[in-house]
Structure 1
Amino acid sequence: MAEVIYCPHCGAQVAPTQRFCTHCGLDVRGPLASPTASAAKTVPVTHQNMFDSATTQLNGWTGQRRKVPIKLGSMFSEVFKRHTEADAETLFIVGTGHTTPTLQQVSDSPVKPWLFSRVFVIFTMTIAILAGSFFLFNGEKMYISLIFMSALAVPFSLLMLFFETNTFRNISIFKVTKIFMVGGVAAVLATMVLYQFVNVQNLTVVTAIIVAMVEETGKLIIIAYYVRRLNARFILNGLLIGAAVGAGFAAFETAGYAQDLGLSVLLIRSLGSLGTHTLWGAINGAALVLAKGDRSLTGLVFRDGRFLRFFGLTVALHAIWDMPVPFDLILQLGLIVVAWITVLVLINAGLREVRTLQAQT
């Protein structure tokens, strides 16, 4: 069985005949490459399934070419445990000048969000009451409220998941809500402005690509604004900022569609929002901060290969989602899975960043 050697610094694969890592430039034969570390990185070549290959490739875009173990059961294990209101309040008060932890206090353990599920339950109860009032008692005044709460339910609940995932605890719920509301509307406005330069009438394969480019660019403009305004330096920060803009965009867009097409579109778009704008925004936000690092947000960041790969992926996911192709439901389920795998890989990269920064400190 052949053996593959990995760089002890970045984890990239190194051919047996190479002296320097092609990814980070480390002299893998030199004194800085400890024998112990090199031996630890020497592993037998094993066959990878499609899932492992995907996580390996995506993780390679973040700087470490290894597969990422996805353990959803462990990640969401806290959802089904009992938590008090005090536990929820503790999560909501983070991000202030007095409640932001130091770098050494930041946890690099696997994230286990749970509060988002309680937020979703609250939305579900509210929507049920509004729907009952509207359908049973002909409460026409409840119609607009029913549309808006239904449009908010899934995107805002997902946003709370990303809020919990930000283990740096350095962005408050007030800032997150402001980005969600103002940033979401601004992203819609930016998209409307960009649409003035293109002509999209009938949805075809080509126009679906144009729509994807326009909408992802519109959201990216606002994400970049908040990344620069908050001087976001950590991947998990970018993930949260991007999710906030994407969730706001999704909520306002869905409300607009429901106003035109009626209540039936709410269920379809709510199910679809499990893996669309909120996740696409999160991916782009994380990729932008991944490429930016400690630097200022300049044009060089947008030309960085790490950002361009993830941005190209979200444009592709968005374009395929909109394309008029057969087997829509099966295809969309696959796109949701791809988006979530990408998000989980970026979360893993964010936690790896925590460990690296703490080790450097």
Structure 2
Amino acid sequence: MKCPHCIYSNPEGEKFCLSCDEFMIHGKDDQERNSIFYRFAHRVDGLPRSHRSVEPKFRNLFSRVFRKHSEIEAERLFIVGTGLTTPKIEEVEETWPKPWLFARVFLIALISYIGLYLGVSLFGNINFIPGLIVVGAFAVPFTTLIFFWEMNAPQNIAIYKIVYVVFIGGILSLLVALVFYDILGNNINVITIGITEELAKVITVIYFVRNLKYKYVLNGLLLGAAIGAGLWPLKRQVMP
């Protein structure tokens, strides 16, 4: 089905264009335009530019969270970053992407956590405890990582690179933080812990973005989220 707005060829059955996100089917589907969230987003978009903190429209961020999405859309999110799938910077849209998968990931993690918790609390099975710890530690960092993955408009980082940064970057930032802790000695407190951990992540991010290939702000945010996703579960085990 071709979109009447941008002439993009979409799979059959899609209500919204995968390229421009505009409605392709009119009728009762137009009721979605009148939803509270949609009207609120349009009200925000109507604010003068002097009142906006960012140029992209507010509705671009969450307009697709509550819509039905196909597996094809999810698959397309991860087929990027290679020499054949990285778009030219001129082809990147001026507005930010419209993330939605992160909400599904968080919901799945939440359901998994509740299931594991019930296994421990109701049935007293201690074998659920390791899974409960892992899912509880990774749920929010991994959801945040998926959000910034979807927000990476240049689409110039492959998924295997992110997996590499999660594990290697998490370990490196942990080691850097431990070095700082050793230097601080007995001066460790709530304030120094926060400063030390964030500084360790910054140093690790700088190491990974030293390649000029990752020169965009959204690249740095994505790599920072990947490092944070790797560091958070580890630090809960070994850091003070």
CA distance in structure 1 between the aligned counterparts of 2:200 and 2:89, rounded to whole angstroms: 33
> 1:225 maps to what in 2?
207
Equivalent of residue 93 in structure 1, options 55, 61, 79 = 79
Equivalent of residue 78 in structure 1, options 44, 64, 82 = 64
> 1:103 maps to what in 2?
89
CA distance in structure 2 between the aligned counterparts of 1:175 and 1:130, rounded to whole angstroms: 30
Evaluate the alpha carbon distance shift between residue 255 and residue 198 of structure 1 in structure 2; reply closer, same or farther with a 3 A threshold.
closer
AA aligned opposite 2:194: A
> 1:176 maps to what in 2?
162
Evaluate the alpha carbon distance shift between residue 132 and residue 221 of structure 1 in structure 2; reply closer, same or farther with a 3 A threshold.
same
Does the 8 Å CA contact 1:151/1:255 hold for their aligned counterparts?
no
Q: Secondary structure at the match of 1:141?
A: helix
> 1:197 maps to what in 2?
183
> 1:123 maps to what in 2?
109
CA distance in structure 2 between the aligned counterparts of 1:235 and 1:214, rounded to whole angstroms: 23
Query: Displacement, 1:85?
Result: 1.5
Query: Displacement, 1:87?
Result: 0.7
Q: Secondary structure at the match of 1:214?
A: helix
Does the 8 Å CA contact 1:190/1:218 hold for their aligned counterparts?
yes
Cα shift readout 1:5-29 (whole Å, capped 9, x = no counterpart): xxxxxxxxxxxxxxxxxxxxxxxxx
Evaluate the alpha carbon distance shift between residue 70 and residue 253 of structure 1 in structure 2; reply closer, same or farther with a 3 A threshold.
farther
CA distance in structure 1 between the aligned counterparts of 2:60 and 2:216, rounded to whole angstroms: 24
Evaluate the alpha carbon distance shift between residue 84 and residue 67 of structure 1 in structure 2; reply closer, same or farther with a 3 A threshold.
closer
Evaluate the alpha carbon distance shift between residue 192 and residue 92 of structure 1 in structure 2; reply closer, same or farther with a 3 A threshold.
same
> 1:213 maps to what in 2?
195
Are 2:140 and 1:154 aligned? yes
TM-score by length of 1: 0.49
TM-score by length of 2: 0.71
Evaluate the alpha carbon distance shift between residue 127 and residue 255 of structure 1 in structure 2; reply closer, same or farther with a 3 A threshold.
farther
Are 2:174 and 1:188 aligned? yes
Q: Number of residue pairs matched? A: 192
Query: Displacement, 1:67?
Result: 4.8
AA aligned opposite 2:80: V
CA distance in structure 2 between the aligned counterparts of 1:200 and 1:212, rounded to whole angstroms: 15
CA distance in structure 2 between the aligned counterparts of 1:92 and 1:197, rounded to whole angstroms: 41
Equivalent of residue 98 in structure 2, options 112, 115, 119 = 112
Cα shift readout 1:317-351 (whole Å, capped 9, x = no counterpart): xxxxxxxxxxxxxxxxxxxxxxxxxxxxxxxxxxx
* Gaps in structure 1 of 5+ consecutive residues: 1-51, 57-65, 261-361
Does the 8 Å CA contact 2:56/2:96 hold for their aligned counterparts?
no
Query: Displacement, 1:221?
Result: 1.9
Are 2:229 and 1:247 aligned? yes
* Gaps in structure 2 of 5+ consecutive residues: 1-46
> 1:238 maps to what in 2?
220
Does the 8 Å CA contact 1:108/1:167 hold for their aligned counterparts?
no
CA distance in structure 1 between the aligned counterparts of 2:58 and 2:171, rounded to whole angstroms: 32
Query: Displacement, 1:212?
Result: 3.1
